Structures are given as C-alpha cells and as structure tokens.
Amino acid sequence: MGFTLTMSFDEDHFEYKEKVYNVDMAFDNILLFLEMFDDKEVEFVEKIFLGLQLLINEYDELILESFEEAYELFKFVLREFLGFDLDEKNEGGETQIKTHDYSKDAELIYASFFAAYKLDLFDLKGKLHWKKFQALLNNLDDNSPFKQVIGYRIMKVPSEKESSKEYRQHVLKMKQQYSLEDGPRDVTSVFNSLANTFKSQAKGVRDSG
C-alpha cells in the first residue's frame, strides 16, 4: 500500500499530516528506548510501535494506516533526531569494539557525572537533553571511573617484556571484570547490529501483508 510522507522538523518536533508532534529527547527516555530496541524478547513489529510510543509525546493522536507507514515514520524519527539511518548500508561489515553498555555502566556514568560536573542524573530525568548527555559523557576526563573502565576494555594486555607479571595480571583481571561479552547497549553498536535484521524483517512483513 503506497503513501506519501510530508515532513519537516525543527529542533525536537516535526510536522506530519499537518500536525506538529514533539519528540521526547530526555536522556533517560532515550536510554529506555535503546533498552527496548535491544530486547530480543520483544517482537520486531512491536518494537516499531513501542518505539514510536516512547519517542513521540502525541503518539495517541497519530493516525497510522499500515505497518509500512509506521515503519517509515519510525525510520524518520531515528534518522532526524537520533542520527541513525536504518536504510544506510554498512559497508564492509566491520565489527566495532564494544566500549560501553548504558545498563551495565549506569553506576560508573552516574559517579563520573557527579564527580566531574556536580550533576545528579537522578535529578535530571526528563530534563537533560540526550545530545547534551552524550556530549558530557564523551568529554569526561580520562581519570573518571567511566573512562578508566573503557581504557581497560580497549587496552591490549602488555607482553612480559613490557610490564611486570603483577601488572599484566591486574589488566587481565580488570578486562574480565568489566567485560561486555554478552552484548553492548551503546548506541552505535546496537543500531548497526540490528539494522540489517530490521530491513529483512520489514520486507517479510510487507510481503506477507
């Protein structure tokens, strides 16, 4: 079933079918969205509608006539507001290094924000914009708890010639303690790993519809 999307956006809202919709870009809401997006127990079609419900404040006022329309709107919001294009080809298929997990690293992030910026993230729920949160997170000092843990994750274990046995054992212990082998929830890795799955599943839903 064909349809036409006519959209324009400005900051955290966009116009769709002659109505303005606001996108909830609070950092805690986006983290909740990412957790849902990465949940393997939530079905693909359900993720589309749950995602729109989480992201769009006026979701109850949306009139969606088909799954295809909902999916195109979902992709638009992700592309324009979160910067991820589910239609973009992932050339080379390179596997990215897992550096952080918003769920596993929650305490480290909280402690680092409080130490570096005197910001209590609990008090900023619903207030701190996602892009500001990312900027602050990315620019934490290397001595912050969060950045120290990332340092261990990406660090190569030094050879016997490069360091003492005790230090090598310490590095191995830290890498094991903060391992993300069971899968990351950082934005880039989540969206890259699921983009191709979304494309194939969306095609399957359209073909069966």
pTM for the model: 0.77
pLDDT single digits (tens) 68-113: 999 999 999 999 999 888 887 655 544 456 788 888 899 999 999 9
**50 inside domain:** yes
Q: Are residues 112 and 167 in the same domain?
A: yes
**23 inside domain:** yes
Domain that holds residue 74: 7-91+187-208
Q: Are residues 42 and 82 in the same domain?
A: yes
Q: How many domains does the chain have?
A: 2
Q: Are residues 120 and 143 in the same domain?
A: yes
Q: Are residues 171 and 191 in the same domain?
A: no
**83 inside domain:** yes
Q: Are residues 196 and 171 in the same domain?
A: no
Q: Are residues 11 and 73 in the same domain?
A: yes
Q: Are residues 11 and 69 in the same domain?
A: yes
Q: Are residues 117 and 171 in the same domain?
A: yes
Q: How many CB atoms lie within 10 A of CB 3?
A: 10
**132 inside domain:** yes
pLDDT single digits (tens) 44-71: 899 999 999 999 999 999 999 999 999 9
Q: Are residues 141 and 199 in the same domain?
A: no
* Mean pLDDT of the 105-129 span: 95
Q: Are residues 74 and 113 in the same domain?
A: no
Q: Are residues 44 and 115 in the same domain?
A: no
Q: Are residues 159 and 193 in the same domain?
A: no
pLDDT single digits (tens) 19-44: 999 999 999 999 999 888 888 899 98
**96 inside domain:** no
